[in-house]
Amino acid sequence: MPEKTIHISIARQYLQLRENGQILREFPVSTAANGPGERKGSNCTPRGWHVIRARIGAGCSPDTVFVGRRPTGEIYCPELRAQFPSRDWILTRILWLSGLEPGRNRLGDVDTLRRYIYIHGSPDDVPMGIPGSHGCVRMRNRDIIELFDKVEAGTKVLIEAC
């Protein structure tokens, strides 16, 4: 049975979907403006092996706004951004990650799941290919939909600094 994995490079700002080690698709992403790191409150992107714990947003319209992993009923637009200028926009789909390495990205002050680290959609004008998030892995909405439709809960995710 083919095994799909996701590989994310913080240095190169890309995400690769692989099957049995072969690259199926590559997407530009935006990881944390603060760089790599695992500590709670650091606003850094955690490294190491993770797993997709939950897939959220199946069937939602592109640009659906999520707060606390729940759709708000809003559809993102520039007017909404102007109304809520400080909101960290989580749009379209969410792949919620859980660390697999105790002491590195799981449990205690380094727990990826409890840090609410996701792979998620973002506004189309948010730059990709450069760090800019608060720790999550941001993607274009069309890209997160494509990725979401190709992976299951339980898919392993490797986030590397290189």
Taking only the tens place, the pLDDT of each residue in 89-143 is 999 999 999 999 999 999 999 999 999 999 999 999 999 999 999 999 999 999 9
Q: Is residue 146 scored above 90 in pLDDT?
A: yes
**How much is the average pLDDT of 51-59?**
98
Chain segment 68-90, per-residue pLDDT in tens: 999 999 999 999 999 999 999 99
Q: Is residue 1 scored above 90 in pLDDT?
A: no
- The predicted pLDDT at position 126 comes to 95
- Which domains, ranges and CATH numbers included, belong to the chain? 4-160 (2.40.440.10)
Distances (CA, A) of 85 to 78, 82, 88, 138: 10, 5, 9, 18
Chain segment 7-44, per-residue pLDDT in tens: 999 999 999 999 999 999 999 999 999 999 999 999 99
% of the chain beyond a pLDDT of 90: 99
Asked if 35 contacts 134 with a C-beta cutoff of 8 angstroms, the reply is no
Query: Which residues, including other chains, have CB under 8 Å from residue 99's CB and lie 6 or more apart?
Result: 38, 46, 48, 49, 50, 105, 106, 107, 110, 111, 112, 113
Q: Is residue 2 scored above 90 in pLDDT?
A: no
pTM above 0.85, yes or no: yes
